[in-house]
Amino acid sequence: MATRVLGIETSCDETGIAIYDSEHGILSHALYSQTETHAEYGGVVPELASRDHIRKTALLTEQVIQQAGLKGQDIDAVAFTQGPGLIGALLVGSTFGRSLAYAWGAEAVAVHHMEGHLLAPMLEEEKPDFPFVALLVSGGHTLLVDVKGIGNYTILGESIDDAAGEAFDKTAKIMELGYPGGPMLAKLAEKGRPGRYKFPRPMTDRPGLDMSFSGLKTFTANTLRDSDQSEQTLADIAFAFQEAVVDTLMIKCRRAIQQTGHKQLVVAGGVSANVSLRDGLATLMQKVGGKVFYPRPEYCTDNGAMIAYAGYCRFKMGERETLQIKARPRWPIDELTC
């Protein structure tokens, strides 16, 4: 008989709910993005995020249950993001999810948000096999992980300051591109011309897999100040910034592949929606005779489907939450076990 897991994601500024079925995959999913709520502040306001999650969580749950043609009793487990993320936002999903499982007589399963991202490519037809290298690039994290199995994670390198997505967002803010900055900067970069500006590739001139992206926003600010700030110039700067981030990530991925000997690379998290990064890494993996795997674009950024799937994996492994409701705003991925 099929196992069905409802997944709830509320760690940041997206409310995502989905149902995963072990025989049919994702049956239904719904996403509410809080972009409008936070746009006027130019970034996520944690208190407003919690309030928006509270307004939407039950509504979206009802919607996905109906879309799937199911009832509460058909759900074997309710999985929710327990961390890392904003404490208030996490508490909404954890409290709602744990209580819903209790009411339905289902099990409750806690999910690590980054494990959700990491396993998202498993929802695609072409899936990676273990072991692989994972590049996790989101708004809060930039990690290179040696993945030997679910929960068997060794961090190979990480950003010592801003995450890649954070660098996109902060740079977009400096360039006054609006919020959310990452996708807008990427869009502007499409109109940019290669070769006009050359940005540094931070921490690539020394060995190791750690990264640093905070210097690039300062470099952008200085370049912008010394420029004519015309539309074309802005596009050229956006291009150079994106090229520097993508190039740096490619250099680090190449090293991680060499170091581990793995032939597969998984790229996930919000920045994995970036077309230039996707293309660059596909070319790189082709050159080394390997293969790259991504989630489809809608599962790159935060969503409920990845939480439902990771929750299903954890449920199958026997994980169960007690009735004590917990949220873990800080939760290093290598603390997970298999």
Which residues are at the interface with Zn ion (CB under 5 A)? 138, 302
What is the per-residue DSSP string for 64-129?
HHHHTT--GGG-SEEEEEEESS-HHHHHHHHHHHHHHHHHHT-EEEEEEHHHHHHHGGGGSSS---
Taking the complex as a whole, the smallest distance from the CB of residue 141 to ligand KG4 amounts, in Å, to 7
The DSSP bridge partners found for residue 6 are 19, 78
Closest CB 300 distance from Zn ion, rounded Å: 9
CB of 164 to ligand KG4, least distance (A): 7
Q: Which of residues 30-59 bind ligand KG4 (CB under 6 A)?
A: none
* Closest approach of ligand KG4 to the CB of residue 277, in Å: 7
- For residue 184, the tally of other CB atoms under 10 A from its CB is 17
- Is the torsion defined by CA of 195, 197, 198, 201 positive or negative? negative
From CA 322, how far away is CA 302, in angstroms rounded?
Answer: 26
Which of 75, 271, 306, 333 binds ligand KG4 (CB under 6 A)? It is 271
Measured from the CB of residue 264, what is the shortest distance to ligand KG4 in angstroms? 21
Q: Report, in Å, the least distance between residue 248 CB and ligand KG4.
A: 14
Residue number, 27 or 307, with CB nearest to ligand KG4: 307
- Identify which of residues 157 and 180 has a Cβ nearer to ligand KG4 in the complex: 180
Q: Which is nearer to ligand KG4, 106 or 139 (CB)?
A: 139
Closest-CA residue to 120 (of 81, 94, 158): 81
Q: Which does 256 bind (CB under 5 to 8 A by kind): Zn ion, ligand KG4, none?
A: none
Out of 181, 202, 280, 295, point to the residue binding ligand KG4 (CB under 6 A).
181
Phi, then psi, of 202 in degrees rounded to 5 = -60, 140
- One symbol per residue from 284 to 303: x for binding ligand KG4 (CB under 6 A), - otherwise; what is it? -----------------xx-
Structure tokens at 133: 């290298």
135 binds ligand KG4 (CB under 6 A): no
**Residue 243 interacts with ligand KG4 (CB under 6 A)?**
no
CB 269 to Zn ion: min, Å: 6
Among positions 121, 182, 202, 280, the unique one binding ligand KG4 when judged by CB under 6 A: 182
The 3-state DSSP class for residue 39 equals helix
In 3-state terms the chain splits into helix, strand, coil percentages (rounded to 5) of 45, 20, 35
Q: How far is the CB of 11 from Zn ion (least distance, A)?
A: 7
State the Cα–Cα distance between residues 262 and 257, nearest whole angstrom. 6
CA 140 to chain CA centroid, nearest Å: 9
Q: Which phi-psi region, left, alpha or beta, contains residue 276 (left: φ > 0; alpha: ψ -120 to 50)?
A: alpha
12 binds ligand KG4 (CB under 6 A): yes
Tell me: does residue 140 bind ligand KG4 (CB under 6 A).
Answer: yes
Binds 136, which of Zn ion, ligand KG4, none (CB < 5 to 8 A, cut-off by type)?
none
Query: Site for ligand KG4 (CB under 6 A): how many residues?
Result: 20
State the DSSP string of 132-156: EEEEEE-SS-EEEEEEEETTEEEEE
Instruction: Kindly list the residues in this chain that would bind ligand KG4 in the complex (CB under 6 A).
Output: 12, 138-140, 165-166, 168-169, 180-183, 186, 269-271, 273-274, 301-302
